[in-house]
Structure 1
Amino acid sequence: MIALETGWDEDCDPAISEAVEAVLGEDFLEEETDELVDVVVMWWREDDGDLVDGLVDALRPLGDGGTIWLLTPGAGKPGTIAPGEISESAQLAGLVQTTAERLGDWQGSCLVARGAMKK
């Protein structure tokens, strides 16, 4: 699998990124890549802009059947995004949420293209 990580900043949890890279056995591709990827790990906070636009941008390098893992600050943390906003933004971007997981101080939402099967 090939993965891309976007939105990384000093508030992100490096253990999450390292765990993904360990499973893949590869480093994340650089954000500027023009390769198609299987997974986009997208760190997003309330002040990062319009979530719909961010999700649409994350779809561009995503291959058929690919997955976006949207990582947002957990409840009560600075930059938290309401679950309803995630669901609505995903729908407007043509995605559906298949899974939600708590990952330390971050909330992970697995998003796939509408009609696609999760790998």
Structure 2
Amino acid sequence: MEATAGSVASPSGDQPTSRFGVGSGQVIQEFGYDDDVDEELRAELEKAAGQELVDEYYDDVTDAAILWWREDDGDVQDLTDVMVDAQEMLEDGGLIWVFTPKSGRDGHVRPADFEEAASTAGLHATSAISAAQHWSGIRLTARGRGK
């Protein structure tokens, strides 16, 4: 699908969704908020959802989760724990995006660390994008179960 004006057709074909795969009425839970996050990116997500992001203490079902993660936030095990926490309230099929400072910037995390944490958490990295001026985004989905 081609992205147009920052949105793409939703899987059901009814409403456009943001480039992050979220749309109107969806609840997006945010982990790792700090004063260095990209406020324009947060505003884009809130606009797509039509509501404010909820914090990591939200205790109801969510449609998507975003994780801001920097090198000094912890090791691979800490990242795995946050990924597991993000999945707890996530609706089946919900997306997780991990945002990390771009390569060469303070706080950058190696892709191998994300892959290891995601694998341990039962997730799979499906794509990576330039999410904002200083942040890269990695999309995670639940790993398919073999039958």
TM-score by length of 2: 0.75
Corresponding residue for residue 75 of structure 1: 103
1:35 match: secondary structure: coil
Query: Quick check: 1:51 aligned with 2:79?
Result: yes
Query: Quick check: 1:60 aligned with 2:101?
Result: no
Count of residue correspondences: 116
Unaligned 5+ segments in structure 1 are none
Q: Percent identity at matched positions?
A: 41
* Mean CA deviation greater in 101-110 or 22-31: 22-31
Corresponding residue for residue 111 of structure 1: 140
- Which one-letter code corresponds to 1:38 in the other structure? D
Supply the distance in 1 between the matched residues of 2:49 and 2:98 (Cα, whole angstroms).
18
- Which one-letter code corresponds to 2:129 in the other structure? E
Unaligned 5+ segments in structure 2 are 1-25
Supply the distance in 1 between the matched residues of 2:99 and 2:60 (Cα, whole angstroms).
22
Supply the distance in 2 between the matched residues of 1:87 and 1:2 (Cα, whole angstroms).
25
> Superposed, which structure 2 residues align to 1:1-119 within 5 Å?
1-49=26-74, 50-103=78-131, 104-115=133-144
Supply the distance in 1 between the matched residues of 2:126 and 2:55 (Cα, whole angstroms).
26
TM-score by length of 1: 0.92
Higher relative contact order (CA 8 A, sep 6+): 1
Choose 1 or 2 for highest CA Rg.
Answer: 2
- Structural RMSD (CA): 1.2
- Which one-letter code corresponds to 1:108 in the other structure? G
Supply the distance in 1 between the matched residues of 2:61 and 2:39 (Cα, whole angstroms).
24
Runs of 4+ in 1 over 3 A off after TM superposition: none
